[in-house]
Chains A and B, each alone.
Chain A
Amino acid sequence: EDQVTQSPEALRLQEGESSSLNCSYTVSGLRGLFWYRQDPGKGPEFLFTLYSAGEEKEKERLKATLTKKESFLHITAPKPEDSATYLCAAAIDNYGQNFVFGPGTRLSVLP
């Protein structure tokens, strides 16, 4: 069964304290690994797409990496405005459960 898990479930950081979020996936036929940010009561906001192992992408304080089994979202020197739930999702090219989201990591950055 295709599955995406994320850890930790919740993370509290002090402003400036760097850390990493993990997304592990067990899917057949990965076509893309996505990272989204979601603020409470709002729709997810696209951050990155990674297509192959070894790929890395950066945007401001965020850097996403991909291996054959997992992806990491590294947050460098976070600020309070980075507080949100971070979701990863796997796009799978099968007819059926084609786009599988992980449960998310709830990040709180304290000033």
Chain B
Amino acid sequence: DSGVTQTPKHLITATGQRVTLRCSPRSGDLSVYWYQQSLDQGLQFLIQYYNGEERAKGNILERFSAQQFPDLHSELNLSSLELGDSALYFCASSGGNRLYNEQFFGPGTRLTVL
């Protein structure tokens, strides 16, 4: 158990809908990272937040947005969902603010778009 929690574990929705994924980092970690993992794309870095502010951006679509709240939990919002958005979404956390700090991954949220 990494100490990172994600809810929900599974999410099934329809195209065009909007969903919110939630992540709670390990106690004391200030950075939260979001990743998407699909069969054809592998693991893709989406975005990083550090202590409430956006720190780095990867392959995140404009339909997706994230934020980190004062209590350090983070939410990833996915809107206008398409079939291709079906994937595992992972959150990770670390104590530092750099991408090369050791990251601890949560168990993931499996999103299915029908």
Enumerate chain A interface residues (CB-CB to B < 8 A): 31-32, 34, 36, 41-46, 49, 51, 87, 89, 91-93, 95-104
Contact = CB atoms under 8 A, between A and B. Distances in A.
Interface residues of B, number: 26
Contacts of B103: 34, 46
A66 B7 CA distance: 36
Given A93-B100, A101-B45, A102-B42, 9 more contacts: A41-B108, A43-B90, A46-B102, A49-B100, A49-B102, A87-B43, A95-B57, A101-B42, A104-B42
Interface of B: 2, 4, 33, 42-45, 48, 56-59, 88, 90, 92, 98-100, 102-108, 110
Contacts, number: 69
Nearest to A6: B42
B100 A91 contact: yes
A46 B92 CA distance: 11
A102 B45 CA distance: 12
Contacts of A46: 102-105
Contacts of B58: 96-99
A44 to B, nearest CB: 5
Contacts of B4: 43
Contacts of B59: 97
Query: In the complex, which of the residues B4, B45, B110 has the most CB atoms of chain A within 10 Å of its own CB atom?
Result: B45
A46 B101 CA distance: 11
